[in-house]
Amino acid sequence: MSTISEVCKWCGISQATFHKAAKRGVIPRKPRGRHDVQEVARALIKDGQAAKGGHGDLVAKLQLSEARTALAREQTAALRRKNAVARGDYVSRAGIRREIETMFAMLRERLLSIPGQIAHTCEKRSSREVEGVIRDEVYDALDEILRLDGPLIEQIGR
């Protein structure tokens, strides 16, 4: 194991060059006096060869490799989502919202129509009989909503 000064002397580079290479990630950082001369020399040679070959330095290659890996992960995730949608594991949030809005609008209209429908029926009846008529109408309205054959009901039924 060697110090930075010893490594620089053996490799024929300045300490500034050593520190620049370390900052770029070409040379791994080590505790003081723990640098391996051969490891540093190999890293510098590899970096120099990559730069001369027009392929950029080692760090650029590593960054490109990491970027390609990240892209592959994203593409895989996107494909999984697309396949899940095709299988019907996921549904459109906008579609569900439309279906729910439609159901509530129909329920609202049905419930608002109940008083007019039962007004004539409830004439001269007791409050218990009126309550029964209203309850029956409300249950009919709820059953009507449950009988809808929309995509949301199909999705929930799975």
Residue-range domain boundaries for the chain: 4-54, 93-157
Q: Could you tell me if 2 and 37 are in contact, meaning their C-beta atoms sit under 8 angstroms apart?
A: yes
- Residue 113 confidence (pLDDT) above 80: yes
- Give the residues across from 35 on adjacent strands: 2
Q: Could you tell me if 43 and 26 are in contact, meaning their C-beta atoms sit under 8 angstroms apart?
A: yes
Q: What is the pLDDT of residues 37-68, one digit of tens each?
A: 788 888 887 877 776 665 556 667 778 888 99
- Using DSSP's 3-state secondary structure scheme, residue 2 falls into strand
Q: Could you tell me if 2 and 32 are in contact, meaning their C-beta atoms sit under 8 angstroms apart?
A: no
Q: What is the pLDDT of residues 101-110, one digit of tens each?
A: 988 888 888 8
The amino acid at 129? E
- Give the residues across from 2 on adjacent strands: 35
pTM of the model: 0.38
Q: What is the pLDDT of residues 69-93, one digit of tens each?
A: 999 999 999 999 999 888 888 877 8
- Share above pLDDT 90 across residues of the chain, in percent, rounded to a whole number: 10
pLDDT at 68: 93
